[in-house]
Amino acid sequence: MDLEYSEEQVMLRDTVARLCKDHNDSATIRMLEKDDKGYSVPFWRAMSDMGLCGLLVDEQRGGIGLGAMETVIVHEQMGRTLAPSPHFSSSLVAVELLQRAGNEQQKSDWLSAIASGEKILVPAWQESGVGADIGGVKMQIARDGDELLLQGEKVLVPFANSADAFIVMAHSDDGSLQALIVPANKTSLRAQPNHADQTLYAVRFDQLRLPAARCLNADSLEWHWDRSMLVGQIALAAQAVGGAARMLEMAVEYAGEREQFGQPIGAFQAIAHYLADRATEIEGARYLVYQAAWACDTGEDWQQLALMAKKQATAVFRRTTVTGVQVHGGMGFSAEADPQLYYRRAKHLQLMHWDSHYLEQRIAAEVFA
């Protein structure tokens, strides 16, 4: 297993790092948390110009057709600056699902438009009172002649106010899972406040009539959805590693500058040992994330690694931010300091898009299969 970056991957890392740093400094992140759109439009356009919106889209459909390792490289750098964007939802999960389960017309209509940054397609699957298991979705699709009738609400949909359409997960009359592409202009939105000040919405569908052609391929849809989300788990784990690494750098820098009793506080074992523990954990999590990406790209067994990477990396991110806040003392809790930004985002990553409890269940089920 070779986890060394190629020359092209080093160039990708450095380019994305500069892009994220130029567009997503901490002052901008604070501003975006209060902005209705929730992400930097110039940053999104720059990502599009670099081809990053089509990172996983096949080349014949306008993308650059790269793999999980390049996805990790991009999202690790985004995690370092907490750069918000619809990239995870639209350019990763939606693209993977379309490429796996979409028909030719749906692929033609959406993939090149997503790759160019022209359109944003966001999966809407979570429901109030329902866990992460897609089999628990309660929304029903009723058939009325050649049309489908959709009624209900999806929650915690990221960047719904910027979406051109949603991929809505629901069950048909026969109990099979279906996915429909629903235009955003046929829905109503309700903002959902959250501890990380991320752009999340509840999306309402009121007696919505759609042609049956809006459905993705129903064959093995649950399997296709699962694989698409697993690719997303690797990307989110990479974000967590990047965020944890940056939080550790800030804590080490502060511990070297802040003095007590005539010496830097980093000289005290009570602080130095905690920081050393976090550094060790971050490198372990990074290795696991890279291993999952490598296995995915090379056709090895990777699904379990993806689950483990998301669970471990987000847990390490959370612990690192707790340590970082403590090292910064009272200032670490203030809105003017950066540690609280990372602290809130760490918990958000743990809870969103398959939480730790669901990941544990999946991992344990495989271990004891």
Q: What is the pLDDT of residues 308-329, one digit of tens each?
A: 999 999 999 999 999 999 998 8
Q: Using CA atoms, how far apart are residues 236 and 213, in angstroms rounded to an integer?
A: 32
Reply yes or no on whether the pLDDT at 264 is more than 80: no
pLDDT of 256 reads: 86
Window from 303-312, 329-338, 343-352, 354-363 with minimum mean pLDDT: 329-338
pLDDT of 249 reads: 97
Which of the listed CATH numbers 3.30.43.10, 3.30.930.10, 2.40.110.10, 2.60.40.10 matches domain 121-214? 2.40.110.10
Window from 57-71, 160-174, 328-342 with minimum mean pLDDT: 328-342
Residues of the chain with CATH 1.10.540.10: 7-115
Indicate the CATH number for domain 221-367. 1.20.140.10
Q: Which two tokens stand for residue 254?
A: 């502060």
Residues of the chain with CATH 1.20.140.10: 221-367
Q: Alpha helices of 59-138 — where are they, by DSSP H?
A: 68-81, 95-101, 104-115
Residues of the chain with CATH 2.40.110.10: 121-214
Indicate the CATH number for domain 7-115. 1.10.540.10
Tell me whether residue 347 is exposed, middle or buried, using C-beta atoms within 10 angstroms of its C-beta: 0 to 12, 13 to 18, 19 or more. Answer: middle
Secondary structure letter of residue 5 according to DSSP: P
